[in-house]
Structures are given as structure tokens and as C-alpha cells.
């Protein structure tokens, strides 16, 4: 059974209200009743689990885009080796799009979800945003990583006009270095 954040909060509020009623009947006490602390603890567990889940979803988005990019890389390498300029161009353009998607932590559909979360006040990396480390709403991809991935995307896109295996390999190594850093929990 999946509970929304709002339902979790409502259940926690109801539990606190019930506990508070029992406490009022018992009289004043010097400490917060253990039932209220226990309820607050489970609420915190739920909120923190949602945050970890969002991180995992974003790492999965990144890993999936990376896997798609690896397929396109293989196609591009084969086409370049075979001297098939048209197939190389197609694969390199698709590879550039996949790398850009890694840099933007997902496509436009994911961006729409991110926008909804931001509008609801959910800023996963609020402190990082305030420090300029993350763009608004980003969870895994830092501004620096985004810039590197988008630069690589442009460079790979440029290779579509004059494919060179060595240049592609060099750019792909840059992409993989950035992705490896982002995939660390």
C-alpha cells in the first residue's frame, strides 16, 4: 500500500491528537509522551524514505540514459569503422541526445514532474541550490556535471558531420567519468 505524503501527515496528526487526548487525561508531564515521539519518528522515516526513493529514481533515469547512450556509441563506432557516414551521423546524433538527457537529469516529461515538485515546495537539494551547486529541482546532476555533459553532447553532435573514432572515444571517456561520479550514492 502506497501512502502519499499528505496521507502520512494526516495519519501522524491523528495519532498525535489521540495521544494528546490520553496525555490530557493523565495530567501534565515533564516530557513529550513516548507515543508522540514514536509517531514523529515513523513520520521522519517515511519522509526520509521518500527522499532516498527520489534519489534512486534519478539515478535510474541517469543509468537508463547511459545504457541507451552505450548502445548508440556501439552503433556509431561500427558505422565509423565501416565508413558508413549516414549510419554514423544517425548514431552520433542519438548519442548526443542521450548524453544531453543525462545532463538534464531526464527528458521533458521528467522536467514536468520536477516542475510539479518545485511548485509544491519540494526542493530535494534546497541547500545545494542556495549555494549554486544544483539547478532548481535537480537531485543528482550538479551544475558542474550538467555543464560537462552538455559540452560533451555538443561535441558528439559536431562529430556527426565529420565522424572520427579517436575524438568519439575521447569524448565518451569524459562522459563516463562524469557519470561515474554521479552514480555514487
Give CA separation, 62 vs 7, 10, 56, 90, in Å.
30, 34, 10, 22
pLDDT at 185: 79
Collect the ranges in the chain with pLDDT lower than 50: 1-3
The candidate with the shortest Cα–Cα distance to 91, out of 63, 71, 61, is 71
pTM comes to: 0.79
Whole-number pLDDT of residue 25: 52
Amino acid 129: pLDDT? 92
Q: What does the H/E/C string look like for 93-149?
A: HHHHHHHHHHHCCCCHHHHHHHHHHHHCCCCCCHHHHHCCCCCCCCCCCCHHHHHHH
* pLDDT given for residue 134 in this prediction: 94
List the chain domain ranges.
Answer: 54-182
Distance CA 119, CA 37 (A): 30
Amino acid at each position: 500500500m502506497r501512502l502519499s505524503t499528505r496521507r502520512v501527515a494526516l495519519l501522524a496528526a491523528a495519532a498525535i491528537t489521540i495521544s494528546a487526548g490520553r496525555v490530557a487525561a493523565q495530567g501534565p508531564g515533564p516530557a513529550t509522551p513516548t507515543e508522540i515521539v514514536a509517531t514523529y519518528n515513523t513520520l521522519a522515516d517515511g519522509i526520509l524514505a521518500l527522499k532516498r526513493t527520489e534519489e534512486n529514481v534519478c539515478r535510474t533515469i541517469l543509468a537508463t540514459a547511459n545504457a541507451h547512450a552505450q548502445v548508440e556509441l556501439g552503433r556509431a563506432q561500427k558505422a565509423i569503422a565501416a565508413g558508413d557516414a549516414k549510419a554514423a551521423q544517425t548514431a552520433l546524433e542519438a548519442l548526443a541526445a542521450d548524453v544531453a538527457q543525462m545532463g538534464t537529469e531526464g527528458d521533458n516529461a521528467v522536467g514536468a514532474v520536477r516542475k510539479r515538485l518545485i511548485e509544491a515546495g519540494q526542493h530535494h537539494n534546497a541547500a545545494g541550490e542556495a549555494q549554486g551547486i544544483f539547478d532548481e529541482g535537480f537531485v543528482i546532476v550538479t551544475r558542474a556535471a550538467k555543464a560537462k555533459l552538455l559540452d560533451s553532447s555538443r561535441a558528439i553532435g559536431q562529430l556527426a558531420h565529420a565522424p572520427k573514432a579517436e575524438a568519439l572515444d575521447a569524448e565518451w571517456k569524459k562522459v563516463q567519468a562524469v557519470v561515474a561520479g554521479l552514480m555514487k550514492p
